[in-house]
Structure 1
């Protein structure tokens, strides 16, 4: 295996439930982290809803996504970015999120994307 590190950005855009996109994005993130590649996660659009605590997923017959999110720290995934506008449009305050996040405006998001070797969008 090569010692060359490639940076990855996973962009999450989908709500936590209703499709497999949110779970797929987290599965890919956990897999990339196992190979010790630099990894950042960006939550945009309805994906910011993934970050709210206390999902009641069992009421809709789904597995709770919060458990996967809580594993990020254990996998040393600590570069979590959130679109500030997406939070605002959904009435979510940064204090509502228990994970350690960095808020970005549109310029910050563009800069983050430019810095990456690989960008995956879900």
Structure 2
């Protein structure tokens, strides 16, 4: 049986290679039907914001990669409520449906997976 994996994305979308690498890992794992989920935590919650303008920073848009997650079988998407609150994003209409979790639910989620990768 394949080991389950939780990918925690903690960086803002344009802060480095971490967000793109997290998405690439999730898409590759999904293509091989690995049981995996993604959690957006800390500045990673900014990845779910709509109407981003990456061209202004001479970056490629991550929206297409994010939108492809469900097509690759990555349906379990989570976001930290405390991270949203600290960044004034509680009213965020996310670009993808992600379940908002509190601290206790986050701990239970992390415990549920065999492997946890943080980028």
Q: Name the TM-score class by shorter chain.
A: over 0.9
Superposition pairs for residues 16-35 of structure 1, below 5 Å?
A: 16-35=13-32
Question: Considering only CA atoms, is the larger Rg found in Structure 1 or Structure 2?
Answer: 1
Cα RMSD over matched residues? 1.0
Name the count of aligned residue pairs: 119
Q: Which stretch shows the higher mean deviation, 103-112 or 91-100?
A: 91-100
**Paired residues for 1:26-105 under 5 Å:** 26-105=23-102
Aligned-residue offset at 1:5: 2.1
Is the 8 Å Cα contact of residues 54 and 66 (structure 1) preserved in structure 2? Answer: no
Shift of 1:35: 1.3
CA distance in 2, matches of 1:54, 1:65: 11
Moved over 3 A (4+): none
Superposition TM-score, scaled by structure 1 size: 0.93
1:76 to partner: Cα distance: 1.6
Partner of 1:119: 116
Q: Is the 8 A contact 1:16 1:47 kept in 2?
A: yes
The residue aligned with 1:6 is 3
**Deviation by residue 1:15-69 (Cα, 9 ceiling, x = unmatched):** 0002000000000001111110111100000000000012100011000011110
Q: Distance in 2 between matches of 1:9 and 1:108?
A: 14
Question: Could you state the TM-score of these two structures normalised by the residue count of structure 2?
Answer: 0.95
